[in-house]
Amino acid sequence: MDATRIQIKLIIVTVLMIGVALACQLFPEKETTISSDIGDYSFNSETIIDALAQGEQGVFSPLSETPTPAPVHHPKTTAWNSLDFLLVARAFHQFYWQETLDEWQFCVVWYDYHCADVTRGPYSAKFWLYKVNNRPEGKTSVLHTTSIYRDGEIIWLEEEKTPVGGQWYYMHTEPEQVRISAEDAVQIADENGGLALRSRIENNCEISVSANGPQENEWLVSYIAFSLSPLDHVWDRLFKIKINMDTGNITAVYPPGSKK
pLDDT in tens, the chain (260 residues): 444 554 555 565 555 555 555 556 655 567 788 888 888 999 999 999 999 999 998 999 998 654 344 444 444 457 899 999 999 999 999 999 999 998 898 988 999 999 999 999 999 999 999 888 888 778 888 889 999 999 999 999 898 888 776 666 667 778 889 999 999 999 999 999 999 888 888 898 999 999 986 666 899 999 988 755 555 555 455 889 999 999 999 988 887 656 65
pLDDT for the residue numbered 71: 43
pLDDT for the residue numbered 97: 94
166 and 46 in one domain? yes
7-60 pLDDT, tens digit per residue, is 555 565 555 555 555 556 655 567 788 888 888 999 999 999 999 999 998 999
Question: How many other C-beta atoms lie within 10 A of the C-beta of residue 69?
Answer: 6
How many domains does the chain divide into? Answer: 2
> What share of the chain in percent tops pLDDT 70?
73
Residues 6+ apart with CB under 8 A from 27: 166, 167
Residue 231, domain extent: 178-254
Last residue of a domain, one of 125, 141, 170: 170
pLDDT for the residue numbered 235: 46
The whole-angstrom separation of Cα 89 and Cα 96 is 11
192 and 163 in one domain? no
Last residue of a domain, one of 152, 170, 188: 170
pTM over 0.75, yes/no: yes
136 and 28 in one domain? yes
pLDDT for the residue numbered 173: 77
The whole-angstrom separation of Cα 137 and Cα 1 is 37
The whole-angstrom separation of Cα 260 and Cα 254 is 12
Q: Are 249 and 230 in contact (CB under 8 A)?
A: no
104 and 68 in one domain? yes
Q: Are 133 and 139 in contact (CB under 8 A)?
A: yes
52 and 163 in one domain? yes
Residue 121: exposed, middle, or buried by beta-carbon count in 10 A (0-12, 13-18, 19+)?
buried
pLDDT for the residue numbered 161: 84
Last residue of a domain, one of 144, 170, 196: 170
pLDDT for the residue numbered 232: 55
pLDDT for the residue numbered 45: 92
